[in-house]
Amino acid sequence: MFGRVLFILFLTTAQCTLPKDQEYWKKLAREEFEGSLSLQINNNIAKNVILFVGDGMGINTVTATRIYKGGASHRLAFEKFPFTGLLKTYSANKMVPDSASSGTALFSGVKVNQETVGVDATVERGDCAASLKPAARLDSLAAQFLKAGRRAGLVTTTRVTHATPSGLYAHSAYRKWECEATMPQDAAECKDIARQLVEDWPGRDLHVILGGGRQVFETNSTNTKEDPYDTWSCRRRDNRNLTEVYIQDKEKRNLKYSYVKNTGELKEIDHQNTDYLLGIFANGHLKYEDERNTGDEGMPSLTDMVEAAIKVLSSDQNGYYLMVEGGNIDMAHHRGWAKRALNEAAEMENAVQLALRVTDPKNTLIIVTSDHGHTLSINGYPLRDSDITGIAQKSPYDGKNYTTLSYGTGGPDAMQYHVVSDGNGTKIVRDEPSILVATRFDYKQPAGIILDENSHGGGDVAIYATGPHAHLFTGVHEQHYVYHAVCCAAHVGDTAGVCSGAHAHTNTLILYTIILAFIVVQMFL
């Protein structure tokens, strides 16, 4: 009780000290206005492209992360990017997408069916034979960069064979075919996703692969307390060790490579003598940032991995493409852990800040977006700059506290209502969240509809861009537009010449305008 009183007093005091005068708001607007007036279009070819994908990072997640990190008036690093837009996320056959279909759309420029990877919509989920047809297979941005003689890589906090990263290199009729153990007999002609990564092009030629998924790679991966088996994923059982296959391939081709298993080894690699970097840090997904062992023997942060990836990729002067996935944003949302999801999104912002510091804005296009949203809601009417993960206020209906954050859908343990009986019959009673409990990383926010777990949301997601041709990412677009715009900006793939042609047209118009102005001036002299 005493703690609750202190908490309310703190909120009241904080609220009284918040600036509310006219000049504060006018100054805030002037700063934004001046920033808009100073915008400049960068028409350079994007030598490098870094595409950050906050998995499950819908607009409400971005808003809540902003407040979580700095308050309502705060701006995240990518919210300061000069160009922003919206993406429509539906898949070829579903209003609300999964990460396989939405990731494939982002990376390959075509809307595809739910739970399929790297194949067009002629392939239904589970149809192995259809996925083998060359005409159905899609080239990703990573493939386009490799074709152009540039480098490509991926960084993720999930398994490297998971739905989003697999869209860069795999062609599979089912996202769950990460290893052979989950594949049916009628799919015997199809390779599992892990084998495609290390045996087939473009996977085997990716210069950076960092994330989790050891049990998918190695038949005899160990199960420990610090790194237990991932029960949500398959475990390889065919006696293959794909890590060894990766190493043997690089040695056979006399390529300079490094294979690392923890943070310490990642920090110690010789970037100047590493053209190919493989880092597998967990049996399944990497640990959440709040649970991670930050020592050298632990798993690296997303920022750690991005730093290493950029060092390896930028050692080649031709340029590179890097996909960075903040995958644990989505994982936390699925479990109903809103605060943990915000913390993961905050860590992705740290990685974005790192990328901004170590790259040249003149030649590096940095994009931040999401593959889909979640059903996260920000509820009325909490005090401004109160704890976004805490209590909004008391309900005027039942007089009990309710949380600022909640979900439209959730797992069975998100149910916060129960039926009670008394002398007057039965009634439905809502559990009241505790202030101290609600702000924990493992607190499960209440949900309106109970499913097996929290589901994705179907709302548009934001896209933020800075660097060469960042202005292509303004307005409302289909999600698969991103692939085509990146190809244009980087001068690769089908739209390689479009942006340079646009420059020529623009330059011609400028030249004609100058000549016309000169003629008009001469007429009046």
Structure-block tokens of residue 508: 């011609």
Q: Which residue has better confidence, 16 or 245? A: 245
Residues 263 and 166 in one domain: yes
In a domain, 306, yes or no: yes
Coil vs helix vs strand at 447 = strand
Verify that 216 and 320 share a domain, yes or no: yes
Mark whether 407 and 331 lie in a shared domain. no
One domain, residues 72 and 199: yes
pLDDT reported for residue 512: 42
> Is the model's pLDDT at 504 over the cut of 70?
no
Cα→Cα distances 358→50, 115, 254, Å? 12, 35, 29
Tell me if residue 73 is catalytic.
no
Based on the fold, state whether residues 132 and 240 are members of the same structural domain: yes
CA distance 349 to 262: 22
pLDDT at 505 over 70: no
Residues of the binding site: 55, 162, 164, 325, 330, 334, 371-372, 456
* Mean pLDDT in residue range 423-441: 84
Return d(Cα 441, Cα 424) in angstroms, integer: 39
User: Is the residue at 39 inside a domain?
Assistant: no
Residue-wise pLDDT for 111-166, tens only, equals: 999 999 999 999 999 999 999 999 999 999 999 999 999 999 999 999 999 999 99
The answer to the question of residue 166 being in a domain is yes
Q: How confident is the prediction for the chain on average, in pLDDT?
A: 91
Which domain does 322 fall in, by range? 46-375+455-494
Structure pTM?
Answer: 0.92
Same domain, 352 and 414: no
Give the domain-ending residue among 435, 454, 473. 454
pLDDT of residue 16: 52
Same domain, 466 and 409: no
Q: Indicate whether 479 belongs to any domain.
A: yes
Q: Is the pLDDT of residue 502 over 70?
A: no
Query: What is the CATH classification number for the domain harbouring 154?
Result: 3.40.720.10
Q: Which of 377, 380, 286, 281 is nearest to 333 (CA)?
A: 377
Rg (CA), the chain: 25
Based on the domain organization, do 448 and 459 belong to the same domain?
A: no
Scan for tokens 């793939």, then name that residue: 493
Same domain (yes/no): 242, 279: yes
Tell me if 23 is assigned to some domain.
Answer: no
Point out the catalytic residue in the list 99, 258, 406, 455.
99
Smallest CA-to-CA distance from 393 within 421, 435, 354 is with: 435
Q: Which of 88, 19, 204, 85 is nearest to 469 (CA)?
A: 85
Domain count, the chain: 2
Residue 513 maps to a domain: no
Number of helical (H) and strand (E) elements in the chain, helices listed first = 17, 19
Answer yes or no: is 504 within a domain. Answer: no
Per the annotation, where are the binding residues for Mg(2+)? 55, 162, 164, 325
Binding-site residue set for Zn(2+): 55, 330, 334, 371-372, 456
CA nearest neighbour of 325 among 345, 311, 353, 308: 345
Q: Of 56, 52, 51, whose CA–CA distance to 331 is shortest? A: 56
Residues 230 and 91 in one domain: yes
Judgement on whether residues 72 and 89 belong to the same structural domain of the protein: yes
Tokens 């398959």 belong to residue: 234
CA pair distance 127, 174, nearest whole angstrom? 8
**Is there a domain that residue 518 lies in?**
no
> Do residues 366 and 291 both lie within one domain?
yes
